[in-house]
Every structure is written in structure tokens, then in C-alpha cells.
Chain A
């Protein structure tokens, strides 16, 4: 709640300058502390990746002694280069499909009127409710019969668009004022052109969120890759399947796993840094005025 006070206080700076400074210091102290708390697992992972296996059993933040053998092992004994390539390929394809199909579907559910729309939307919501454990066998049998297992095709097919993404895009389109479409309609633009040229660019913040979350979701997915193509051919392994290779029942290779986790985090971090800058207030309202 301090945050709100601080934010609004900006306009009163001349009158209450001293109280303001105290508040500001307090505010930054609090969010810096929260940030530190949020960083701890990452720092721990990073330092553990430089430990020896016996040392990794001690939960300390400073390796004793320092070693790069964990990094060396995963880079030489396991084919993490291939795993990363596969993960990037899947994450990009699935994310692009989801933006396009989720955006298009979300736009239709938010704006276009067609009989049965509410019913179909309920069906979309319903799909979120079905647990994976329940649909695993029928989906696997279906994909096996279609010869879509053992490679990426079946995985991409079942992930072309998720209900969560479609739902999210619909919710965002609902918040965009209708004036834009009115203007486009007067110019004679069709529904697809309105979606492609007007609505999608306006949804940039939502698309950014979706890119980050979907890329990360596919990147971190373990269960479906394991079942659909993670059995036997390391040329098809993703980074998560690679990490699972290091996880043994008695004797987990902590330094190697941590090094692999760091590698696994970096691309998501890059995606996050690239797309978070599109969270800029006023994309929509600026458009209204213009």
C-alpha cells in the first residue's frame, strides 16, 4: 500500500518533500528486499553449479572448492547443444501458432457475433478443466495410430493453441475501445484486416505477455515431451529431458543439474528482457487520441 501512496505523492513533492524522501527510501528498501528474496534460488543454483558433488550436499552459497567440472560434464558428455536447438525450435513454433490462432479466436469470441458463441466459449473454458492425467491415454493412442509420436509433430499438433491463451486474448480484446474497429469498418476493412492491422498491434502488451509465458511453458514442459518423443532418441531431446537424464534415484548430480538449469534459464530470460519493454502504458489510449 506504501507503493500507491508513493506513486501518487509525486504531484505533491514541493509541499511534503521531506516525508516524501523518507517514504521513497523505505519504498526502495522494501522492493529491493523482495527482489533479493526472489533472486535467492537463482544465485543458489549458480553457485551450486560451481561446486563439487560432495560440497553440493552442503547448502551453502560459496563453493569450496570452486570447480567447473559440472559445466564441463554437461557440455562434453551430454548433447546440450542439440537439446537447446530442439527446445528453441519447439518453443518458437508453438508460441507463433498460439499467438496467431489464440489472437484470432480471442478476437472472434470478444467481438464477432455468431450463433453458439457462448456455448463454444464455455467449451473453450471447459478444456482448461480437463487434467492431463485423464486425457493422456486417449491422446497418446490417437497420436500413435496417426504415426505422430517419436518426433515433434504430435507435440506441435496438440499444442497449436491452448485455451488459456485464447481466453487471455479474448479478455484483452474486450478492454480495447470499439472506436478503432468502427473507424476501420468505415474505411471498408474486412474482419481479418481489422484483426490483423488494427487489433493485433493494439494487443502488443498482451502478445508480449503471451510470448513470454508460452515460450517458457513449452521450454519447461516435461511430461508431454517425455511421453510423445522423449524415449530413446537423444537427437529429439529437449532441455528438460536432458536435465532429467541427470536426475538419478540415489545420487543426483547436483552441480551438473544446476549448470544445466542455468543454461535452461538464459533463453527465457532473454525472451523476457526482449518483450517486457512492450509493457508501456497508453498504447491503447494514445491510439484513441491520434
Chain B
């Protein structure tokens, strides 16, 4: 708001010149990223959009003409429905859990506690340790005879059991990505001016109230960022589902995700047209959900 009033006080003609100059610099600053994104994201996506209307193999277009048959096939494929349902469940589970965990950890180590550096490193560790080691130990602890089942007295193979496997992956991934969310929140916490807290302290506001009334709303840009980035990442789940199911999406399609569907269709069946149409459908789903977030959580953050 300050900028606006400042600019208004200048003469009209130079204001126009300033605007053009600002726009020129603006374009200059974003031109490299836009070119990179254009070449390596927008063009491939446009290409996918194009081939989604054809029968398309490894070496290009195949006979059969153009049409929306691939979309008809994807939209009516019960396996794709299962894949979408699986990934939505996963996203609803993993995103809030990761955010809550990441924010809690960030709040803990943003305080003047003893051994702060130690705890920072410790909390970040699952994010850097090799995923092979993490997955191995998780599979071991949660297998039929594992430590976890010993404690709760059951024989459930959590990662190989259709009803539990997605939730097991939710647990694993929120644990390993909490450190990343913590870093984002930690960076954002640094931008909150300390005088805000000083004022709260003078008013004798309780810690809980201070957090909800001051800290939490001030973190809105960070919430929006993490929600969008982690949400999109969750909707693109592939790696863990692939590892846990030995590349088959099982048991009984319980780890089939839309990206896994794209992968199988493209690199096993070599039906690139069908894979592309599944990609476009997934993109539409993600885009719609992100737009909803932008219109709700992200609404007030834009200047």
C-alpha cells in the first residue's frame, strides 16, 4: 500500500515511464525461468496433450486415427479410479500430518533451548538418510514379525496388506518429509519481526493465544507454499508405492497411484497416448485442487 501512495505523488508521464521500466525489469528477471519451464515443462505437456488423441507407441504415431478414445478409456478404467481414490486418501492423510509435524519441530527449535543445533540436526536426519536404509528399516519394523507388531500384539504386515499399506506409507513419508517442512517453516519464522512477540509479552498474552493469534496467521505465505508444494507432491506419489509393491502396485491395486498408472502404461504397455491422457486427467485434478487452495488459503497473501 505504501508503494501505491508513493507512486501516485509523481507526475503522470514519468509514472507511465516508471511503469514500463518496472515491467521491463520484471520480464527480464523472469525470462530465464520462463524459458526453462517453457522448454522442459510446457512443451512436454503440450506434446502429451497432442499425443493423447492418438494411438502412440515408442516410435510415434500408430494407425487408428485421432479421437478422444484414450480419455474414454482412462475415465472408464476401474484401475484408474482406484488409483485416484488411493492417492486422494494418501494426500488427505500425509499433507496435514507433515505440516503439523514440521511446524511443531520448527517451533521447538526456533526457541532458546539447550542443544538447539543438535536437535535441529536430529530432527532433520530422516530427510537426509538414504531412502534405501529408511525403507528397509521401516519394512522390518512393520513386517509381520516386526517390533511394532510385538508391541501392539498383532501379525499385520503393514506394508504388504491392502487395507493398511497406504496409511503405512503416509506414516513413513510424513516422518521423512517433516524435516523439509520444518526447514521451510523455520525460514518463514525468521521473517516474523521480534517486536510482534515483545508486544504480546507486554500484553501478557498467553503462549497458546500468541501462537494462534499472531504466529499462525503471520505464517500464511508459508502455509500456502507448503500446502501447495506438498499437496502436489503427494498427488504425484510414485517412489514409495513402487518400492513397497515391487513395481506392481499391489497387493490388490492398493498402491496403484495415477503416476504409477502413467508409468506402467507408458513403459510396460508402451501405450503413450493412453499414458498421456491419464497425465492430462491427473493434471486437471491437481490444477483444480491447487486453484481451490489459491482461492482460499492463498487469497490474502498476494500483495
Decide: A109 and B30 in contact? CB cutoff 8 A. Answer: yes
Decide: B110 and A281 in contact? CB cutoff 8 A. Answer: yes
Determine, out of A4-12, A71-79, A85-93, the stretch whose residues face the partner at the interface: A4-12
Instruction: Choose one: A1, A138, A167; the contact of B47 (CB below 8 Å).
Output: A138
For A45, A160, A175, the residue with the greatest tally of chain B CB atoms inside 10 Å of its CB is A175
Determine, out of A62-70, A229-237, A256-264, the stretch whose residues face the partner at the interface: A256-264
Does A242 have its Cβ within 8 Å of any Cβ on chain B? no
Does B193 have its Cβ within 8 Å of any Cβ on chain A? yes
Does A29 have its Cβ within 8 Å of any Cβ on chain B? no
Decide: A131 and B236 in contact? CB cutoff 8 A. Answer: yes
Does A17 have its Cβ within 8 Å of any Cβ on chain B? no
Q: Which residues of A contact B24 (CB under 8 A)?
A: 114
Q: Kindly state the separation between the CA atoms of A195 and B29 in the bound complex, as whole angstroms.
A: 10
Does B232 have its Cβ within 8 Å of any Cβ on chain A? yes
Instruction: Choose one: B129, B194, B224, B263; the contact of A282 (CB below 8 Å).
Output: B194
Count A-B contacts at CB 8 Å.
282
Q: Which residues of A contact B95 (CB under 8 A)?
A: none
- The smallest beta-carbon distance between A287 and chain B, in angstroms, is 10
Main secondary structure of the interface of A (DSSP, over half): helix
Decide: A108 and B26 in contact? CB cutoff 8 A. Answer: yes
Task: Give the residue name and chain of the A residue nearest to B31 (CB).
Answer: A105
Task: Give the residues from 124 to 139 in chain A that come closer than 8 angstroms, CB to CB, to chain B.
Answer: 124-131, 133-135, 137-139
Decide: B45 and A135 in contact? CB cutoff 8 A. Answer: yes
Does B221 have its Cβ within 8 Å of any Cβ on chain A? yes
In this complex, the interface size class of chain A, counting residues with CB under 8 Å from chain B, is 35 or more
Task: Give the residues from 201 to 260 in chain B that come closer than 8 angstroms, CB to CB, to chain A.
Answer: 201, 206-208, 210-211, 218, 221-222, 224-225, 228-229, 232, 236, 238, 259
Decide: B26 and A40 in contact? CB cutoff 8 A. Answer: no
Instruction: Choose one: A10, A104, A117, A176; the contact of B191 (CB below 8 Å).
Output: A176
Chain A residues proximal to chain B, CB less than 8 Å? 1, 3-5, 7-11, 28, 31, 34-36, 38-42, 44-45, 48, 59, 101-102, 104-105, 107-115, 117, 120, 123-131, 133-135, 137-139, 142, 157-158, 160-161, 163-164, 166-168, 171-172, 174-179, 181-182, 185, 190-192, 195, 205-206, 208-209, 212-213, 216, 220, 243, 247, 257-258, 261, 264-265, 268-269, 272-273, 276-277, 279-286, 288
14 A-B pairs with CB atoms under 8 Å apart are A3-B107, A35-B122, A112-B25, A120-B30, A126-B42, A175-B188, A175-B221, A176-B191, A205-B187, A209-B186, A268-B128, A276-B124, A279-B187, A281-B194
Chain B residues proximal to chain A, CB less than 8 Å? 2-3, 6, 19, 22-27, 29-30, 32-34, 36-37, 39-45, 47-48, 104, 107-108, 110-114, 117-134, 137, 140, 180, 183-184, 186-195, 201, 206-208, 210-211, 218, 221-222, 224-225, 228-229, 232, 236, 238, 259, 262-263, 266-267, 272, 275-276, 279, 282-283, 286-287, 290, 294, 301-303
